[in-house]
Chains A and B, each alone.
Chain A
């Protein structure tokens, strides 16, 4: 029986995304998750972690981002914790995905995809740390 819990500590460097994907693939295989679910999980976690790495710091120093996840009673629960500046993704309005190419913004799709591929998202900030909990039914 494979492990059904995962914990990763990632540096605030985009090269860590490759490690994140590798660990999630192993976790997905151990849990016997369908290929589609593993791809969606990769996408959700990448969007959240890449956002933190790209926008939460700015002091040029090394920081740790902690990712914890588990499969419990048919539900994937993933938590991402960081010590960056306060950022509540739930306050970000959805992007305008219906505009023409000329008016279409280049970015802003990441959180839209996270919302679409999860069933619920909770945010809180305690002791100078952001904590995001995402749930996805399988």
Chain B
């Protein structure tokens, strides 16, 4: 699993590349948590290079979303493949996350 972080104005774009499974989840969770702890409150998760997610990956998104909500920040997701979107629907994540079809829309949501 590769994590790439880019900055666009006040927004951090975190790209996850590879498989988010039981093995890789702890490192990703730690990385995202440290980002929020360092004061980043506007985060876009770009999942366009994410090939697989399990429930341990899903729990990271919930944990990060809760932490960002606590500081009145903004979190958006983009780039979900059909398979990952289906898993999000089963988990009813589509109603609690701001999910955008394009990266630019996700960035605009977080920036404003």
Please give the residue numbers on chain A whose beta carbons come within 8 Å of chain B beta carbons, in ascending order.
14-15, 17-18, 21, 36, 39, 42-43, 46-47, 50, 53-54, 97-98, 100-102, 104-107, 109-110, 112-113, 116
Contacts and interface: CB of A to CB of B under 8 A. Distances in A.
A32 to B, nearest CB: 18
A36 B86 CA distance: 11
Q: For the complex of A and B, list the 9 residue pairs with the smallest distance between their C-beta atoms, beginning with the closest.
A: A110-B55, A97-B92, A50-B22, A109-B55, A17-B23, A17-B22, A101-B96, A46-B54, A106-B59
A18 B95 CA distance: 31
Given A46-B21, A100-B96, A101-B96, A109 B91 contact: yes
Interface in B52-94: 52, 54-56, 58-59, 62-63, 65-66, 69, 83, 87, 90-92
A106 B21 contact: no
- Chain B interface size range: 20 to 34
Given A101-B69, A101-B96, A109-B59, A46 B22 contact: yes
Given A47-B55, A110-B54, A102 B90 contact: no
Contacts, number: 66
Query: Interface residues of B: mostly helix, strand, loop or mixed?
Result: helix
B17 interface: no
A61 to B, nearest CB: 20
Interface in B20-74: 21-23, 52, 54-56, 58-59, 62-63, 65-66, 69
A42 B83 CA distance: 12
A39 B55 CA distance: 13
A42 B92 CA distance: 20
A106 B91 CA distance: 12
A34 B19 CA distance: 19
Given A104-B66, A106-B63, 14 more contacts: A14-B22, A18-B21, A39-B83, A43-B52, A43-B54, A46-B54, A47-B55, A50-B22, A101-B62, A101-B65, A105-B62, A106-B59, A106-B66, A113-B55
